[in-house]
Structure 1
Amino acid sequence: MKWTDTLEIAIALADVHPDADPQRVNFVELMQWVMALPEFDDNPKHCGERILEAIQAAWIDEV
């Protein structure tokens, strides 16, 4: 998974953190959680606020 795989990341986060409210996860924590996903393999420098917002929005839609 890369940063641009927002829906795939959102699905994985929903599976790994089923009790988390995606609206309450701050971007620092969200970035750490994404990078901790076993399938994730991308450079942290390629991440920005827009990508994190897209991941968070997809996650909200997923739950």
Structure 2
Amino acid sequence: MRWADIEVIIEALEENYPEEDIENLSLPRLHKRIISLLDFDDYPSTSNEFILETIKKKWIKLREDNINNQ
């Protein structure tokens, strides 16, 4: 997966870190979580604050949707 694969990234984050406190997760820590994903295959340095904020917001939404659908 690459930085542009936001939906795939958030699914992998939710699968690997289901107990993560996303709201309080710093962007540097989020970055580390993403680049440590098994299938992540992109240059770590090509991310930026906008990409990380987008991933964080979408991950929060995914978590909320999962909770509401239970």
Q: Under a length normalisation based on structure 2, what TM-score does the superposition of the two structures give? A: 0.85
Which amino acid in the other structure matches residue 59 of structure 1?
Answer: W
Query: Post-superposition, which runs of at least 4 consecutive aligned residues in structure 1 deviate over 3 A?
Result: none
Residue identity (%): 33
Deviation at 1:28, TM superposition (A): 0.6
Look up the match of 1:23. Answer: 23
Look up the match of 2:61. Answer: 61
Look up the match of 1:2. Answer: 2
Consecutive unaligned residues of structure 1, counting only runs of 5 or more, are none
- What's the secondary structure of 2:12's corresponding residue? helix
Deviation at 1:12, TM superposition (A): 0.6
Kindly indicate whether structure 1 or structure 2 has the higher relative contact order, using CA contacts under 8 Å at least 6 residues apart.
1
Alignment RMSD, CA only?
Answer: 0.7
Look up the match of 2:43. Answer: 43
Distance 2:54 2:6 in 1: 6
Deviation at 1:24, TM superposition (A): 1.0
Distance 2:6 2:24 in 1: 18
